[in-house]
A and B are shown apart, each in its own frame.
Chain A
């Protein structure tokens, strides 16, 4: 700092404004003058002027980054958000778009803009561990921003733009290093996790020194007002007064605000929330077709035998839930493919002792599997794929089913590629590329995780269904997202008279998961799953029910409580109203 000052000459224009002249070049040119060289090339001199000229920022307000991005075309709402953050919010903002509208893009755009203007050099991006690599990749590929994932302590000093997990950064030795630095920009993803100011995460992030700051969250308002206040304190301490002023001015009860218009006004100065309903952001339509299938006699025989097997084991094995759950998986697998159930049976067999009576029963089941030679679901999927005659993604829960399908499709001259969670990044990208360019079908076992964007495909076959609604939504979300130009067709295959029928009834009729995007699904589930996950609840219902009727009724009850929580979350009218209007 000081040495730099010595090479500067200052001239005061008025009491607030000074002109600083960089002096370093003067010594350089003098030295060269005295020793007559070395001199640079005239052509390079001209080029240096040209690039200097192209980097000129002719306007305080106009976005420069748009001319420098060739790998991405930001949407209008993302551009207007970036503009507003720069020129009105002065680089400190909560970005609170609804899920899927591209908060990361907005943050990247803003970061890029400041970097081009050389106002930002040192950047810290704190995200959940699972998103670190995705952030790095997006910044690298879409924005040409040389971000790196933090892995070793020395990296804090070596690299200017670091993406790190909050949980790592807040622990020493990292903590002390980070708090010792001055960052030009701090970005925090999933910032709603910072709701409580007593947590170490909150205190750590609040202590970081930064010039510009972006907090990204999809669900800021649903938390109580106090939590919102805490977020704003990181950005602009005192914006809503101090603790007690805030309480007396704006809060009636945890979730009920007062002086709404004023609060809304205050919020617009620190927060931007774009919503799908604001127009232009509407996704294309979803068409849903449920396709009932009748199992062949051999298949149905296997299904009932497995169901019996499960019942009997349940009665014998009071208590060991984990084991019982794996038995239900058997039932689900029968509906998917005989290959899937076979693999699980073999594993089960290996776990039993040599003299166990179960072994014999398993053998009996395996015998039944052997008798099956035509596969109902595979056949109708093949017909469906041929009929669609376009790119299709088939989702299944089971590896064995996936393998079987890949082979089956190959036998029928349909080019398909696999996609699995266990594949490394390079392979995943490769498979996506092959699907786009060469294959008609992708058979995938994983929908979650990041980076599978398949907007070029608009047909989804759910070969079997996950029991977790979140995962269903993730599947559809792979193709039904911004950038999808066509209506999306969803085909749900289900076998009649099996548990699949119950699950589909719950997810489709009761939760209405397929036809529309259920807003705030994660939130609803979070509240619904206070005690145990929805998946576990379903397993329990099946194990504890005496007959099909009972399963049906209990599933209905579960569906009803889902709707109740849904209205709770979205019916909180006053609450929703305080969200600031998104700028057009």
Chain B
């Protein structure tokens, strides 16, 4: 993600959590967090516990999300300079030593670096991943027909993540949708539904067709993934396995020599090392493919 993408992402998050935007610029944004966002981002478990138990009105934090630290610092120090000039006569102790003195008044806002890879952004990713996992949505009909009930086709959409792991890793996303009436499977499902107008509330005068069982649908999707993975080049796994074999031989040669040469009383200890070395090398190299999901949901789409 580049700066603009991160910016957009964070704004969308703040909006969906109903945070109050106080100041907005290309390089930063100041937001008064909503209680929900505060719980998710500020790690103040004790505070929120206290609020819950005492019923005290919550005071949420104000955060400054900085997307471009360099330009932000520049403008900040420029502003400070101006402030300093405008109040140059005031001679405070701190001012004398530092050339600045803290201003009173404004509510303190905590600065958060929001670059790709920063811990706060990771935290946002994490809570979003938790809170944006299962949905149930309906496509909004163009015009509400009064006479006839509109029939929906129900789809189970799943964003699979497939990870190819040995001592290194590569991953793919497979966004699949299966029609719960016909069993038809569509790829790039997520993209296709982004274009649609969707709502969480079932519109009036609509109905959903009968469906095939969820278990069946999911196993069809899994089958689809297996078919896709099967045809991929498995060279990486073959090579990883080859490396693993070589490592095992090396370790076995080394340690069996060592065990043979060792005094009886030391043998046990060496054997433990031996076993651990073999185990860790397996963990490191053994090739495997893992399939999990980013999120999934039911999508009732117009036919």
Contacts and interface: CB of A to CB of B under 8 A. Distances in A.
Interface string A99-130: 00000000000000000111100000000000
A39 B134 contact: yes
A56 B70 CA distance: 28
A146 to B, nearest CB: 6
A70 B118 contact: yes
A456 to B, nearest CB: 15
Contacts of A209: 276, 279-280
Contacts of B289: 13, 17-20
Interface string A29-48: 11011001101111111111
Given A16-B287, A44-B132, A239-B250, A22 B293 contact: yes
B97 to A, nearest CB: 9
Which of A13, A58, A207 has the most chain B CB within a 10 Å cutoff? A13
Nearest to B272: A207
Interface string B263-303: 00000000001001101100111011111111111100000
B195 to A, nearest CB: 12
B255 interface: yes
Interface in A357-380: none
A48 B258 contact: no
Main secondary structure of the interface of A (DSSP, over half): mixed
B241 A16 contact: yes
B111 to A, nearest CB: 14
A13 B115 CA distance: 40
Interface in B169-226: 169-173, 175, 190, 194, 198, 200, 214, 218, 222, 225-226
Contacts of B133: 25, 28, 40, 45, 48
B109 interface: no
Nearest to A13: B230
Interface stretch (B23-31, B47-55, B123-131, B143-151): B123-131
Contacts of A16: 237-238, 241, 287
B168 to A, nearest CB: 5
Given A48-B133, A70-B117, A17 B280 contact: no
Nearest to B269: A207
A210 interface: yes
Contacts of A36: 136
B119 A144 contact: yes
A384 interface: no
Interface in A43-60: 43-60
Interface residues of B, number: 84
A30 B294 contact: no
A237 B287 contact: no
Which of A29, A65, A144, A211 has the most chain B CB within a 10 Å cutoff? A29
A119 B124 CA distance: 21
A90 B246 CA distance: 13
Nearest to B222: A21
Contacts of B200: 39, 41-42
A471 interface: no
B107 to A, nearest CB: 24
A133 B165 CA distance: 33
Interface stretch (B9-17, B56-64, B85-93): B9-17
Given A48-B294, A144-B118, A40 B132 contact: yes
Contacts of A33: 214, 298
A232 B230 CA distance: 39
Nearest to B254: A238
A87 B167 CA distance: 9
Nearest to A41: B16
Given A60-B168, A117-B169, A69 B117 contact: yes
A55 B292 CA distance: 14
Contacts of A45: 132-133, 135, 295, 297
A183 B12 CA distance: 37
A304 interface: no
Contacts of B122: 144
Given A42-B200, A238-B253, A59 B170 contact: yes
A56 B171 contact: yes
Given A9-B222, A16-B237, A48-B133, A211 B128 contact: no
B65 to A, nearest CB: 14
Interface of B: 1, 5, 9, 12-13, 15-16, 69, 98-99, 113, 115-119, 122, 124-125, 128-129, 131-137, 159, 161, 164-165, 167-173, 175, 190, 194, 198, 200, 214, 218, 222, 225-226, 229-230, 234, 236-238, 241, 243, 250-251, 253-255, 257-258, 273, 276-277, 279-280, 283-285, 287-298
7 contacts: A16-B237, A26-B218, A40-B133, A49-B294, A52-B161, A70-B117, A119-B168
